[in-house]
Amino acid sequence: MNIVILGPPGAGKGTYARLLSEKYTIPTISVGDLFRKAITDETKLGKSVKNYLSSGELVPDKIVIEVVKNRLEEEDCKKGFLLDGYPRTVPQAEAMMNFNKIDVAFNFVVPDDVIASRIGGRRTCSKCGAIFHLINVPPKVEGICDICGGTLIQRADEKPQIIKNRLEIFREKTKPVADYLRTKGLVVDIDANYPIEEIDKIIDQCENYLQTLR
């Protein structure tokens, strides 16, 4: 079963991908993770990607497509996979359709004001990287990580103006991908406007559709 995860920043795509991956025992392929590993390993790809990212540029489609294609050819993807963070452009989507059959693209829909609240309320431990939320998952002691005692900070890209910019970029660059895949009959919209304690209602929508494919 080959699944694409779509949606705006703050929709919870990574969480849904992880839960579905565990449920169906298929790997989650995150382009961001692939790039970070390449940078850490100091590979030729990593050095190239680092140059683009450090200058704030998008990694060219050609590089992204090659990285994903190579990853999907690995043995653990033979029985299926979840793509998180890919495709992000229409050329990437077109290439994906050429080298892999996609069963469904789940498009997680969340109102902008909810996204702003979700992202704006996040706090990250400056020491261990653990993530908290002022409303949904508050720390036991304000400003202090429950796990290691480190200081909780708000990342620069989670501040109000930056959130607004990220949503604008999403509409400009990534929404056309959903529109393209919709013309192929692959997109299933998922209502993801539920609090974290009701996340099962979101996953149930996905599972109900996947059962129709069996």
- Greatest alpha-carbon span in the chain: 51
179-186 LR contacts (CB < 8 Å, sep 24+): 180/90, 180/93, 180/94, 181/4, 181/6, 181/93, 181/102, 181/105, 184/97, 186/4, 186/102, 186/103, 186/104, 186/105
Catalytic residue among 166, 175, 182, 201: 166
Task: Specify the 3-state DSSP secondary structure of 142.
Answer: coil
Report d(CA 21, CA 141) in Å as an integer. 33
Catalytic residue among 47, 155, 173, 184: 155
Q: Which two tokens stand for residue 170?
A: 């999403």
Amino acid at 57: E
On whether the CB atoms of residues 206 and 20 are closer than 8 A, the answer is yes
Report d(CA 169, CA 165) in Å as an integer. 6
Write the CA distances from 46 to 40, 66, 151, integer angstroms: 7, 13, 30
Q: Catalytic: 71?
A: no
C-alpha triplet 36, 54, 74: angle, nearest 5°? 25
Q: Catalytic: 122?
A: yes
Q: Catalytic: 88?
A: yes
**Could you list the active site residues?**
13, 88, 122, 155, 166
